[in-house]
Amino acid sequence: MGRKFFVGGNWKCNGTTDEVKKIVSMLNEAEVPSEDDVDVVVSPPFVFLPIVKSLLRPDFSIAAQNCWVRKGGAFTGEVSAEMLVNLGIPWVILGHSERRRLLLNESKEFVGDKVAYALSQGLKVIACVGETLEQRESGSTMAVVAAQTEAIADRVLNWSNIVLAYEPVWAIGTGKVATPAQAQEVHSELRKWLHENAGAEVAATTRIVYGGSVNGANCKELAAKPDVDGFLVGGASLKPEFIDIIKSSTIKKSSL
């Protein structure tokens, strides 16, 4: 049984109520492969989670873009995993580079703690890893993403509710994209790392998706690579081409 294709749409800090309704309408009207063949998860900003949940087609799912590292309390501005569960939100994105670096300097250990806590509360996690341009040019890509993955593996025994998203920092929102060969190389090495450190079953079944300037033009070639199990899409997830990216799951099915 092959790994089911996964397409996530990270809307980041974008949208108004009207814009969000238009995006959801576009998604609801789209003809896409069956949920037996592809998991589609969209991630609106916190304030739009309830309206998207109320309007979105039932075969698509919803993720929050972050959650707090432990139970809620006196943590102004944070949203707890328990709150997401209470809202009926099944997924959460954790460890995105914009939070690791740009915004809050979240350490790999902190991200690992967040992943473990979210899982303990019943959430499914899209866990992001990736290197900077400087790290890639210095030849330390695998050391960086392995260390980020290890910080999760040290705290997690069951990987069945984790999707690992490889997002090279230099490709996020820049228009640059890892070549299919570059993406496959890192995904393959990550899978080998999982095999050696988390076991053969985890390596064989954990979905590793690619993120970083994915669009309708490059998704098919990326999807054809054997260790690319889908995508975490940024800007293109707000546009009609997101449907084309979802449809690229048929490339994987035809290659099985």
- CA 247/CA 256 separation, integer angstroms: 16
| Catalytic, out of 19, 96, 98, 137 | 96
- In angstroms, the first-to-last Cα distance of the chain is 9
Inter-residue contact 210 to 183 (CB < 8 Å): yes
Q: Is 167 one of the annotated active-site residues of the chain?
A: yes
Count Cβ neighbours within 10 Å for each residue of 82-119 and write b for 16 or more, e otherwise.
Answer: bbbbeeebbbbbbbbbbbbeeeeebebebbbbbbbbbb
Longest CA pairwise span in the chain (Å): 51
Q: How far is 84 from 119, CA to CA, in rounded Å? A: 12
Residue 96 annotated to the active site: yes
How crowded is residue 59: how many other Cβ atoms within 10 Å of its Cβ? 12
- State the amino acid at position 72 in one-letter form: G
Q: Which member of 31, 167, 189, 241 is catalytic?
A: 167
The pairing of strands 162-166 and 91-94 is unpaired
Indicate which residues carry an active-site annotation: 96, 167
